[in-house]
Chain A
């Protein structure tokens, strides 16, 4: 738009200059210089701008629907004749044949500049505008509507409980920070402070920070511990510690090392010289196991590098020897092995870093064993402390994994809820209330329908919960006794009447036509009290579940039954191969029916 802009500036300058009477002080050429400069810059830009090759032919192809046949032909025609393939030649001939059908005038018409109309309008508009001075207050455009992420109260309570639980179980500062961030996220969602985008972004950030190198570090540490275990196993004295390290029972390993340290400190029952020598060797080798592994990887890597160089040289020396496919295969194989070694090297470096303190302590213990067994025992105790540190670290990692799992569940939940929209949220809201044993909208009274059933005296229909206004009733089939509930009005109360009555219950009056005494209802009865044996086991699981449908997911009995079922389900989820889609639904089901406070 340099041209219209130039004209516009010219008009504006001229008008203002005239109005301010500037022409008497400044020369007129200044007025023309600005637009001329703008014009020249515009022309220069057009002249020197980089244009892609074949822009014209592509436009022709597009206009005629030639599928780039002209452009391809032009491109191939630039390839030297001896390098052209028969298909290229055919494509060139094909493109050339289309020459007569091309219509560049219609394909790329030289139109009147689009800016011309705009320019004139701008010049006129500015001319008019510059004569006016109108002040107006322009309202700022309204910010985009904020749509907060909405989660049902029941789910918010669930994630609050999760955060509380994780916070109570954790004492690692890093993990605690992550739990607090998770908690803050839940609170922000509860307070409707975040929109969907922000929620996902914060969850993504938290997940990324939590994941970090968690799995890599854990694998590297496991490998390092296994390496140590292999060496420590060679001495009878460190065998228990080795077995514990191999099976990742870090607490047992720590205990075994402390016991060994105690044994070394005692003067009586101290191990023999031969045993001590074996121990020293095992400790020394164990302390070097990680380092040696790294060295061995380096050595193998160097050999592979050499092999690669030699293969590359062979390839350059004998390009036409006919062995190129074989060489290529070898080179590819070499490259694969190098990549594998690089990954192994990375793991070894991580392992070395994590085990460095323990390695140092074991090396020191081996050295001190030559001079003073008591000093060596102290080194071993230091080593045990380091194992304790690793155990704590592992526990903290498990907590992080747990939090990650919860984050994933939360994410999946939001995804599912996002699909359901407002209706789904409302359904969840009602469900949460019922789960707590409350009526759905807080207005209906539980048991209103119950009275109705009893009055009839012969109803065996469903029990209606929460039939108040605004609530949605739930039908629960409850058998209602038929006998003894009717008031008995239709029968018996009119003594001697001709109408025998149609009531369902016994009458209490007396028929005057009868001469005998009324039946003596007072039989000779004996009171018997029966009591069941109290086993303390409470109601059967089926009764508890049935009761939960009426009262909500509350109570100690329900908690017990829920825990039993959930344990079985979790075991199946962790041991069996179950598609991830199913896993989510099973876990979600148990989340929804969890016991409420």
Chain B
């Protein structure tokens, strides 16, 4: 078997596993295909996802289901205004051994799991939110002088309520940037609502089973990194990124007027990694411009900061990014 044939098989296997994951999650979660794909993309891109939506749309249920089908260690942190950083990362306690000898021992917090659900992350103060920063970026936690590594794969899924809601603290910009995608959970359609009601108000009970192993997830993550990207596709992602900056050469008028700061380079990384995952979802061997376009909203909406005028005029980052995609041709003329 040639190497190319082997690669084909790997891609086919990837598609099969994704299909199984989607099917198993679909047994519990109704609709929301784009959100499910977005969450899976974040996990396969070895990064983290931020889900936003009003309470009751099944954000937490989605994450719990995902943890179930992946069969990984899972912990849930309910963020509240009085939550402290030590409640998340853990703390050092004085431990008395059998012989009366005392020693300091680090008790790991809930952040030490493969999948961490940070529920309603914007209910906690910025100080506590920031406690997740190192864990998310470095996959390790430093307490005092010692550093504790978190096992792979590591995936933080945070949910938040829309910022307009009372009693919420906006996430610090540095932390927002750490999230691969920000996914908006839409309100279900009428048919979806029927299905939700049927599943939740009757005796019908859907249990999910594990469909991939930890090793398989790591293999899938590695495959994503190996997907090649043609120069023109990469160039397109960079141009989209540059156009989010008011000083960008190809920035449309809307950006110049309403954007304070454009997306960081992590935005381009997220777009391209997301495009690679999407190519594999479709069984293709390379990412395309269409893939970049499809990922741009989720990858950039939390990285584009509107100016005060933009906020006052009610312009959303989604409008700005859609305008960029509309104005930017696929190939530079």
A415 with B7: CB separation less than 8 A: no
B166 with A90: CB separation less than 8 A: no
Chain A CB within 8 A of B32 CB: no
A577 with B125: CB separation less than 8 A: yes
Chain B CB within 8 A of A28 CB: no
Shortest A389–chain B CB gap in Å is 35
With both beta carbons as reference points, the residue of chain A lying nearest to B81 in the complex is identified as A577
B230 with A87: CB separation less than 8 A: no
Cβ contacts under 8 Å, B4 to chain A: 86, 89-90, 93
Complex-state Cα separation, A10 to B166, whole angstroms = 71
Cβ contacts under 8 Å, B3 to chain A: 86, 89
| Chain B stretch 197-248: residues in CB contact (< 8 A) with chain A | 226-228, 230-233
Shortest B87–chain A CB gap in Å is 16
Complex-state Cα separation, A415 to B164, whole angstroms = 13
**Per-residue 0/1 for A87-119: is the Cβ within 8 Å of any B Cβ (1 yes, 0 no)?**
111110110000000000000000000000000
Shortest A80–chain B CB gap in Å is 14
With both beta carbons as reference points, the residue of chain B lying nearest to A418 in the complex is identified as B312
A204 with B7: CB separation less than 8 A: no
Cβ contacts under 8 Å, B232 to chain A: 52-54, 58, 68, 71, 75
With both beta carbons as reference points, the residue of chain A lying nearest to B311 in the complex is identified as A415
Q: If A67-B291, A200-B308 touch, does A87 touch B284 (CB 8 Å cutoff)?
A: no
Cβ contacts under 8 Å, B227 to chain A: 87
B291 with A579: CB separation less than 8 A: no
Complex-state Cα separation, A197 to B330, whole angstroms = 33
A200 with B286: CB separation less than 8 A: no
With both beta carbons as reference points, the residue of chain B lying nearest to A581 in the complex is identified as B166
Chain A CB within 8 A of B314 CB: yes
A204 with B282: CB separation less than 8 A: no
Complex-state Cα separation, A484 to B76, whole angstroms = 71
Q: If A93-B4, A581-B167 touch, does A67 touch B290 (CB 8 Å cutoff)?
A: yes
Using a Cβ–Cβ cut-off of 8 Å, how many residues does chain A contribute to the interface with B?
39
B331 with A68: CB separation less than 8 A: no
Shortest A540–chain B CB gap in Å is 32
Cβ contacts under 8 Å, B191 to chain A: none
B286 with A72: CB separation less than 8 A: yes
A197 with B288: CB separation less than 8 A: no
A579 with B230: CB separation less than 8 A: no
Cβ contacts under 8 Å, A52 to chain B: 232, 331-333
Q: If A58-B331, A76-B286, A87-B7 touch, does A68 touch B233 (CB 8 Å cutoff)?
A: yes
A67 with B228: CB separation less than 8 A: no
B312 with A200: CB separation less than 8 A: yes
Complex-state Cα separation, A411 to B287, whole angstroms = 44
Please indicate which of the listed interface residues B125, B312, B313 has the most CB atoms of chain A within 10 Å of its own CB: B312
With both beta carbons as reference points, the residue of chain A lying nearest to B165 in the complex is identified as A581
With both beta carbons as reference points, the residue of chain B lying nearest to A417 in the complex is identified as B312
With both beta carbons as reference points, the residue of chain B lying nearest to A585 in the complex is identified as B166
B285 with A87: CB separation less than 8 A: yes
Chain A CB within 8 A of B11 CB: yes
* Choice from A55, A71, A414, A582 contacting B230 with Cβ under 8 Å: A71
Complex-state Cα separation, A584 to B285, whole angstroms = 52
| Chain B stretch 1-46: residues in CB contact (< 8 A) with chain A | 2-8, 11
Chain B CB within 8 A of A347 CB: no
Cβ contacts under 8 Å, A67 to chain B: 279, 282, 284, 288, 290-291
Complex-state Cα separation, A299 to B232, whole angstroms = 47
Chain A CB within 8 A of B309 CB: yes
Complex-state Cα separation, A76 to B330, whole angstroms = 19
Chain A CB within 8 A of B168 CB: yes
Please indicate which of the listed interface residues A67, A87, A94 has the most CB atoms of chain B within 10 Å of its own CB: A87
B284 with A414: CB separation less than 8 A: no
Q: If A52-B332, A91-B286 touch, does A579 touch B166 (CB 8 Å cutoff)?
A: yes
Complex-state Cα separation, A468 to B163, whole angstroms = 43
Cβ contacts under 8 Å, B287 to chain A: 68
| Chain A stretch 197-223: residues in CB contact (< 8 A) with chain B | 197, 200-201, 203-204
| Chain B stretch 57-84: residues in CB contact (< 8 A) with chain A | 81
Shortest B228–chain A CB gap in Å is 5
Complex-state Cα separation, A196 to B282, whole angstroms = 48
* Choice from A58, A579, A580 contacting B330 with Cβ under 8 Å: A58
Chain B CB within 8 A of A85 CB: yes
Cβ contacts under 8 Å, B288 to chain A: 61, 67-69, 72
Cβ contacts under 8 Å, B333 to chain A: 52
Cβ contacts under 8 Å, A201 to chain B: 309
Shortest B54–chain A CB gap in Å is 16
Complex-state Cα separation, A62 to B288, whole angstroms = 11
Shortest B238–chain A CB gap in Å is 14
Chain B CB within 8 A of A522 CB: no
**Per-residue 0/1 for A30-66: is the Cβ within 8 Å of any B Cβ (1 yes, 0 no)?**
0000000000000000000000111100100110000
Cβ contacts under 8 Å, A197 to chain B: 309
Shortest B266–chain A CB gap in Å is 16
Cβ contacts under 8 Å, B289 to chain A: 58, 68
B168 with A579: CB separation less than 8 A: yes
Cβ contacts under 8 Å, A89 to chain B: 2-4, 7
Complex-state Cα separation, A67 to B307, whole angstroms = 35
| Chain A stretch 159-215: residues in CB contact (< 8 A) with chain B | 196-197, 200-201, 203-204
Cβ contacts under 8 Å, A26 to chain B: none
Complex-state Cα separation, A85 to B289, whole angstroms = 21
Chain B CB within 8 A of A318 CB: no
B284 with A69: CB separation less than 8 A: yes
With both beta carbons as reference points, the residue of chain B lying nearest to A414 in the complex is identified as B312
Chain B CB within 8 A of A313 CB: no
Complex-state Cα separation, A411 to B308, whole angstroms = 8
**Per-residue 0/1 for A579-596: is the Cβ within 8 Å of any B Cβ (1 yes, 0 no)?**
111100000000000000
Shortest A87–chain B CB gap in Å is 5
Shortest A329–chain B CB gap in Å is 10
Cβ contacts under 8 Å, A196 to chain B: 312
Cβ contacts under 8 Å, B331 to chain A: 52, 54-55, 58
A69 with B312: CB separation less than 8 A: no
With both beta carbons as reference points, the residue of chain B lying nearest to A58 in the complex is identified as B331
Please indicate which of the listed interface residues B5, B231, B282 has the most CB atoms of chain A within 10 Å of its own CB: B231
Complex-state Cα separation, A155 to B291, whole angstroms = 50
With both beta carbons as reference points, the residue of chain A lying nearest to B226 in the complex is identified as A87
Cβ contacts under 8 Å, B164 to chain A: 581
**Per-residue 0/1 for B291-333: is the Cβ within 8 Å of any A Cβ (1 yes, 0 no)?**
1000000000000000111011110000000000000001111
Cβ contacts under 8 Å, A579 to chain B: 166-169
A-B contacts, 25 of them at CB < 8 A, read A52-B232, A52-B331, A52-B333, A53-B232, A58-B289, A58-B330, A67-B284, A67-B288, A68-B287, A68-B290, A69-B288, A71-B232, A75-B230, A86-B4, A88-B285, A91-B285, A91-B286, A196-B312, A200-B309, A411-B308, A415-B312, A418-B314, A579-B166, A579-B167, A582-B166
Question: Considering the complex of A and B, which 7 residue pairs feature the smallest CB-CB distances, nearest first?
Answer: A68-B288, A86-B3, A91-B285, A86-B7, A67-B288, A75-B230, A89-B4
Residues of B within 8 A of A (CB): 2-8, 11, 81, 125, 164, 166-170, 226-228, 230-233, 279, 282, 284-291, 307-309, 311-314, 330-333
Given A68-B288, A86-B3; 20 other pairs, CB 8 A cutoff: A52-B333, A54-B331, A68-B230, A68-B233, A69-B284, A72-B230, A75-B231, A86-B6, A86-B7, A87-B7, A87-B285, A89-B4, A89-B7, A91-B285, A91-B286, A93-B4, A197-B309, A204-B307, A204-B309, A580-B170
